[in-house]
């Protein structure tokens, strides 16, 4: 009986120590944040999007955000082995197909999670297999990932015609909101 009681006391004390350390280090705030989320940036807080780092371009010549001024730009950070990225893919492909001729440029930034995803030939094969027709650039060194402060796959940024970040979505979902904002930005006059 004493052994069982001591084991229960040990477990309770262990849980209390872990809880106290989690609270003291601020980890509890990070653990309580929802997995996915989106944010519409306020105009005064909008930052000009960082330029894309050099990489291998697929389906396109190298693009520079500065050269895309006057177009709405959607940048998706993804990797081909990511289940959640594959779930967002039909929406991103649909937006590209529907709005490309209306002024939207979609750019996939492929930031690999696993070693086999770093191989450009594997990436080319997957892009073809998945039917991706928009521009994709490799980000094997996570330079673009870091400059955008991305923390998870997929993450989508929507840039206005002046190259400012106006919306960000981490994870799956908010597809109606994303499409509504694409339509709104495409309708705006260039300033």
| Model pLDDT for residues 107-119, shown as the tens digit of each residue | 999 999 999 999 9
d(CA 157, CA 166): 8
Residues 88 and 17 in one domain: no
The answer on 8 and 96 residing in a single domain is no
Are 2 and 42 members of one domain? no
Does residue 20 share a domain with residue 41? no
What local confidence, expressed as pLDDT, does residue 15 receive? 78
Same domain, 85 and 179: yes
Which tens digit of pLDDT belongs to each residue from 35-82? 456 555 444 456 899 999 999 999 999 999 999 999 999 999 999 999
pLDDT of residue 187: 96
Same domain, 108 and 20: no
Instruction: Report, as an integer, the average pLDDT of 137-161.
Output: 97
CB of 117 closer than 8 Å to CB of 79: yes
| Claim to verify: residue 10 and residue 43 sit in the same structural domain | no
Domain range spanning residue 29? Answer: 1-33
Residues 65 and 6 in one domain: no
State how far the Cα of 159 lies from the Cα of 134, in Å rounded to an integer: 16
21 pLDDT higher than 60: yes
Query: Distance between the two ends of the chain, CA-based, in angstroms?
Result: 78
Asked if residue 15 and residue 100 are part of one domain, the reply reads no
Local confidence band at 28 (pLDDT 50, 70, 90 cut-offs):
very low
If one counts every other C-beta atom within 10 angstroms of the C-beta of residue 145, the result is 18
175 within 8 A of 91, measured Cβ to Cβ: yes
Judgement on whether residues 3 and 14 belong to the same structural domain of the protein: yes
The CA distance from 72 to 164, in Å, is: 10
CATH of the domain at 148: 3.40.30.10
Domain count for the chain:
2
């Amino acid at each position: 009986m004493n052994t069982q009681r001591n084991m229960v006391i040990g477990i309770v004390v262990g849980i209390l120590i872990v809880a106290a350390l989690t609270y003291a280090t601020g980890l509890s705030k990070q653990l309580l944040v929802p997995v996915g989320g989106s944010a519409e940036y306020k105009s005064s807080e909008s930052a000009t999007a960082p330029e894309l780092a050099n990489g291998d371009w697929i389906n396109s010549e190298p693009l520079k955000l500065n050269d895309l001024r006057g177009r709405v730009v959607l940048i998706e950070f993804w990797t081909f082995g990511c289940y959640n990225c594959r779930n967002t893919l039909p929406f991103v492909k649909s937006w590209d197909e529907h709005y490309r001729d209306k002024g939207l440029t979609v750019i996939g930034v492929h930031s690999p999670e696993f070693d086999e995803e770093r191989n450009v030939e594997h990436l080319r094969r997957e892009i073809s297999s998945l039917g991706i027709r928009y521009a994709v650039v490799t980000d094997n060194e996570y330079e673009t990932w870091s400059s955008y402060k991305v923390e998870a796959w997929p993450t989508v940024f929507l840039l206005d015609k002046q190259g400012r970040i106006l919306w960000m979505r981490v994870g799956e979902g908010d597809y109606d909101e994303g499409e509504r904002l694409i339509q709104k930005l495409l309708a705006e006059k260039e300033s």
